[in-house]
A and B are shown apart, each in its own frame.
Chain A
Amino acid sequence: MSAGNGTRLEELVAEAQRVLAICNACRYCEGYCATFPALERRLEFTESDVHYLANLCHNCGACLYACQYAPPHEFQLNFPRVLAQVRQQTYRKYAWPQALGALYERNGLVVGLATAASIAFLFIFTSLVSDPARLFQAYSDAQGSFYAVIPHNVMAGFFTGVSLFVMLAFVMGFIRFWPDLGEEPGEFVKPRTFAEALHDVFTLKYLDGGSGDGCTYPDAQPSYARRTFHHFTFYGFMLCLAATSVATVYHYGFGWKAPYALISVPVLLGLAGGVGLLVGPAGLLWIKSRRDPLLADPRQDGMDVGFLVLLLLVSATGLALLFLRETRAMGVLLAVHLGVVLALFLTLPYGKFVHALYRFAALVRFHLERRRPRPGIAPE
């Protein structure tokens, strides 16, 4: 790691500490979300406190619009932005392998698309070399088209390898992040707090603006746009995973080979998930483009946009494959779809997706802390 990044983190932590001290003296925003009650438990803020609070923040922007010290006030307080900037450094600091942490600051869109294209090309090239005719042939569903182009064990091998790598990367990030917060491993899996954090994630509790009016995204007018599009994305992603899982069970458990009929559990799940992953990421990209510049961090656009575009491409190529699977285009489409999916998975630990890991850890911590006695600040 270059000295420059250490300095960037140090600068951001120092700025966050300045901002947090002002917020702690004011406290007007404490009704908006979990971040403010969490900061009020502290009188001083260590670097790990800053990482914790930064990852608890959902970047809704409500506090900035309510802030009497927001620019152009001489305090130049922009709480959500500095926390967003810190988050990127959290991802980088805890990335595994460490060297790949630099990817967060690369153009995620270029990285993702290049990865997808390379993998797709690899599949296409391999097919072309072995038997070009198979690639461009039209198959009926009955013929088991997919595996005629790319053998099942190749596909499964790729995905197993990538999935294991991705999981390892997340586990490695987490097991360094969690103790840095000062928490024991056992605390993370306490059922009650774990369930509370899951509830916050499944409902996106902190995108309601604190009042139930919705959050101030993309601008000062409260709305549920961001929560809605995020739900489409999240549940769309989950449905696609479910489709794949059911298909895996079909394959190994029952010996039923893909492609499955249109009216079948994996296809219906995948179809619903695919629609979610079209609507959700498209909506998120749209509102992101209208985001108040005071709250945007251009340094993260590449990471955010890259992830959303890959999600969009996964669903677009997947749906295209579904509808064109009995045509001659199937072979190339399959290669492209697999390329995009693998690229998405490969870049999961080095892009926007990691927010899920650290946000969830921070939420678990929030619920743990909430139950502990409040430090003796300002007795009544």
Chain B
Amino acid sequence: MSYDILVLGGGNAALCAALMAREAGATVRLVEWAPEHSRGGNSRHTRNIRSMHDAPADVLTDVYSEDEYWQDLLKVTGGQTDEKLARMAIRHTAGCRPWMSKHGVRFQPALGGTLHVSRTNAFFLGGGKALMNAYYRSAQALGVEVTYDTEVVDLELEGGTFRSATVIRNGAEEKIHAKAVVVACGGFESNLEWLREAWGPPAENFIVRGTPYNTGRVLKALIAKGAKSIGDPTQGHCVAIDARSPKFDGGIVTRVDCVSLGIVVNKHAERFYDEGEDFWPKRYAIWGRLVAQQPDQIAYSIIDVKSMGKFMPPVFPPLKAGSLAELATMLTLDPAALEATVRRFNDAVRPGTFDHTVFDDCVTEGIAPPKTHWARKIDTPPFYGYPLRPGITFTYLGVKIDERARMIMADDKPCANVFAAGEIMAGNVLGKGYIAGIGMAIGTAFGRIAGEEAARHVRG
């Protein structure tokens, strides 16, 4: 079979590309590896898009300028970003919502418990799966040919020009020819073997928060066929999540939001990082790596009853005990060691006025690491503990692209008819770190650009 445009992948970026290309008049085939019920890659676990706006706009309050957005991005990436591409994505988010609405996506004010991002992030009514459902409905109505359960196993690239893709569906191999291809099939975070290659043995203890279908097979093939890679395989969006979470697809509910309210210890019952460094929404993205660096990649967030009910309820109930020693036993920690750590911490807590909504003056003195805000003694039973593991959300290793979303080859020349969008090229913008809603911003912006450019290429 032959089409104008073949889209590999079935998440947000893929659908944005397919819809744009179809709207431009191209015939489009989209192949999604997941079965229909699990379609949508990691996008189905998302809930918002970080959006620039120069004035209050529909669900967004106040102003979030291009420069402020760029500064936020610059800060989390530590400069590991491409300013031109980043600003393209940022500007794109200012104007893409009407198009999204046209395709059935609905927005709502920030969710309960997330008011801190009501200025910067536009939330999808019903979350990312509802958004994907809307896009798939629109794609069907517009005549995009979608097949599920279809794995891409190989690509035919001749001197940087795409010829065909080989896919397997229901055990049968099919070669799909197209005049252009949009590669939007994610990173490699659900490929445990590849994670082990990158991270070594600690990867054994990683939990994959999203889709099990992002095995990076296409990414690997592209790099092997001469695509220029970008990003570090150990970089990704990795947060500390409940150690009891499912190995894959646990999504949002696995998060544990009480880190800044208490202390976090490793398996030796020792603290290892300032839990009160910044507001949790600004720090949750670093705790995955912090836990990954601890022995056996396990940590425990410990609070007392004073903090109960002051954070978003996690999906798994906490372990609860009347004494620290008892809690330590439940968490398989050495009771004496935990008691000693808490005693040292409590002794270091200075008097202050606790207020979790501001940078308060509750600090520790004379311990390392310090706790620089929200430091309260852990002294009132019952005590609660949540076990934590690194939860990998997505990886940043990808293919390099230009401003037209064309894939760049190792010789720095762009491919004529290979375009990349979404997680597979997110590393161009996001070399490290994370800010909420940036993944959907990159996916939407470059998905739409890739679809448009691919259609332009086909029209000639």
Contacts and interface: CB of A to CB of B under 8 A. Distances in A.
Interface of A: 21-22, 24-32, 37, 40, 43, 62-63, 65-75, 210-211, 213, 220-221, 375-380
Contact of B130 (A40, A65, A378): A65
Most chain-B Cβ atoms within 10 A of its Cβ — which of A69, A71, A376?
A69
B129 A378 contact: no
Interface in B28-54: 37-38, 44-45, 47
Interface of B: 37-38, 44-45, 47, 104, 106, 108-109, 111-113, 115-116, 123, 125-130, 133, 137, 246, 249, 251-253, 255, 257, 309-315, 317, 356-357
Contact of B312 (A67, A71, A378): A378
A220 B129 CA distance: 12
23 contacts: A22-B315, A25-B253, A27-B112, A27-B113, A29-B126, A29-B127, A30-B108, A31-B108, A32-B125, A32-B126, A37-B112, A40-B113, A62-B130, A66-B127, A68-B45, A72-B38, A74-B246, A210-B106, A220-B133, A220-B137, A221-B137, A377-B309, A380-B116
A26 B313 CA distance: 9
B310 A68 contact: no
B129 A27 contact: no
B312 A25 contact: yes
B45 A21 contact: no
B127 A68 contact: yes
B252 A28 contact: yes
A211 B357 contact: no
Contacts of A65: 126, 129-130, 133
B113 A213 contact: no
Contact of A211 (B44, B106, B246, B315): B106
Given A22-B253, A68-B44, A378-B257, A30 B313 contact: no
A378 B112 contact: yes
Given A65-B130, A68-B128, A378 B310 contact: yes
Contacts of A74: 246, 249
Given A43-B309, A377-B113, A378-B113, 8 more contacts: A24-B313, A25-B314, A26-B127, A28-B127, A29-B126, A66-B127, A70-B37, A377-B310
A53 B202 CA distance: 43
Contact of B313 (A28, A213, A377): A377
Contact of A30 (B112, B116, B312): B112
A312 to B, nearest CB: 33
Interface of A is mostly: loop
B126 A213 contact: no
A28 B126 contact: yes
A25 B315 contact: yes
Given A21-B313, A377-B312, A379-B357, A27 B37 contact: no
A238 to B, nearest CB: 32
Most chain-B Cβ atoms within 10 A of its Cβ — which of A66, A69, A221?
A66
Given A62-B126, A65-B133, A213-B106, A25 B252 contact: yes
A28 B111 contact: yes
B440 to A, nearest CB: 14
Contacts of B252: 25-26, 28, 68
B115 A380 contact: yes
Contacts of A210: 106, 108, 125-126
A31 B125 contact: yes
Given A25-B314, A378-B312, A379-B310, A66 B113 contact: no
B313 to A, nearest CB: 5
A58 to B, nearest CB: 15
Nearest to B106: A211
A27 B253 CA distance: 9
B313 A72 contact: no
Nearest to A32: B126
A69 B245 CA distance: 13
Given A221-B137, A377-B309, A379-B356, A67 B111 contact: no
A213 B109 CA distance: 17
A344 to B, nearest CB: 37
A221 B255 CA distance: 31
Contacts of A22: 253, 315
B29 to A, nearest CB: 23
Contacts of B127: 26, 28-29, 66, 68
Contacts of A21: 313, 315, 317
A22 B312 CA distance: 11
Contacts of A375: 309
Nearest to A28: B127
Given A68-B44, A73-B249, A40 B125 contact: no
A75 B137 CA distance: 26
B199 to A, nearest CB: 25
B106 to A, nearest CB: 4
A66 B312 contact: no
Contacts of A29: 126-127
